[in-house]
């Protein structure tokens, strides 16, 4: 079994989900007392969020590349960034290490296509929904990406940072997300990507009439696939 290096803390609420899923997957596949071999480097999210807000992506990339190098030196065989947004600097991180980085959009696109879906709704931080670093990878696979209207993007982003990243699960926010999801479905979305690793804490399969693609779950399972190859 290979050792999975996790760059977490963005936020730790979802990083803990990665740890749970990794271990549950390994136990399910190997049985007995098996658990995942993994190393977690948890950053201070306040520092990363400041970089995001100020557009200092290069600085954030340096922080996460240092984390990835530390994981490599510690014995990790592959790297997983436990967040969608910071895949904006995935190429920079990959160029700074010698072990593979498993891109969250790649494993998500693969699952979307396996489900026969070519028009998808995308929820995430405003960076993920509005910038091209994430959407372009999906579109390169022939997947049409729909995002909420601007006022709804504000709602989705605010709930992520002000509630979910701080461990707050609020029914009113779930209702807002369900309404936004329904609007995307009316626009033609045949599935919805939960493109922020915290959204799965709030929105579940029963909240949507079309398939939900929880990127935390898909990313963690993809890491286990690589670890057990």
Residue 83 a catalytic site member: yes
Reported as type and span, the H/E element at residue 226 is helix 215-227
Residue 184 — pLDDT band, cuts 50, 70, 90? very high
CATH 3.40.50.1860 maps onto the chain at: 4-103+218-227, 104-214
Instruction: Give this prediction's pTM.
Output: 0.95
Which of helix, strand or coil describes residue 159? helix
Write the burial class of residue 5 (CB in 10 Å: 0-12 exposed, 13-18 middle, 19+ buried): buried
Q: Which of 38, 51, 65, 83 is catalytic?
A: 83
Residue 165 a catalytic site member: no
b/e map 184-207, b = 16+ CB within 10 Å: bbeeebbbbbbbbbbbbbbbeeee
- pLDDT tens across 100-112, in order? 999 999 999 999 9
- pLDDT tens across 134-171, in order? 999 999 999 999 999 999 999 999 999 999 999 999 99
- pLDDT tens across 24-45, in order? 999 999 999 999 999 999 999 9
Q: Residue 181: which residues within 8 A CB-CB, separation 6 or more?
A: 121, 123, 192, 203, 207, 208
Q: Which of 51, 196, 197, 215 is catalytic?
A: 196
Is 104-214 CATH 3.40.50.1860? yes
b/e map 73-106, b = 16+ CB within 10 Å: eeebbbbbbbbbbbbbbbebbbebbebebbbbbb
Residue 101 pairs in a beta bridge with 79
Is 4-103+218-227 CATH 3.60.21.10? no
């Amino acid at each position: 079994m290979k050792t999975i290096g996790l760059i977490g803390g963005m936020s730790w609420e979802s990083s803990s989900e990665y740890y749970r899923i990794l271990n549950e997957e390994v136990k399910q596949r190997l049985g007995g007392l098996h658990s995942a071999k993994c190393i977690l480097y948890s950053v201070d999210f306040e520092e990363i969020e400041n970089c995001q807000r100020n557009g200092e992506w290069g600085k954030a990339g340096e922080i996460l590349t240092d984390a990835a190098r530390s994981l490599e030196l510690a014995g990790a065989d592959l790297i997983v960034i436990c967040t969608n947004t910071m895949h904006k600097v995935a190429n920079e991180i990959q160029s700074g290490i010698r072990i593979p980085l498993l891109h969250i959009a790649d494993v998500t696109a693969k699952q979307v296509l396996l489900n026969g879906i070519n028009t998808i709704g995308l929820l995430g931080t405003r960076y993920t929904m509005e910038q091209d670093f994430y959407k372009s990878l999906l579109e390169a696979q022939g997947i049409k990406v729909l995002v909420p209207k601007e006022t709804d993007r504000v709602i989705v982003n605010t709930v992520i940072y002000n509630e979910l990243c701080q461990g707050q699960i609020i029914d009113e926010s779930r209702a807002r997300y369900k309404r936004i999801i329904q609007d995307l479905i009316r626009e033609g979305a045949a599935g919805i990507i939960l493109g922020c690793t915290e959204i799965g804490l709030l929105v579940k399969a029963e909240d949507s009439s079309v398939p939900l693609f929880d990127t935390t779950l898909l990313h963690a399972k993809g890491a286990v696939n690589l670890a057990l190859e």
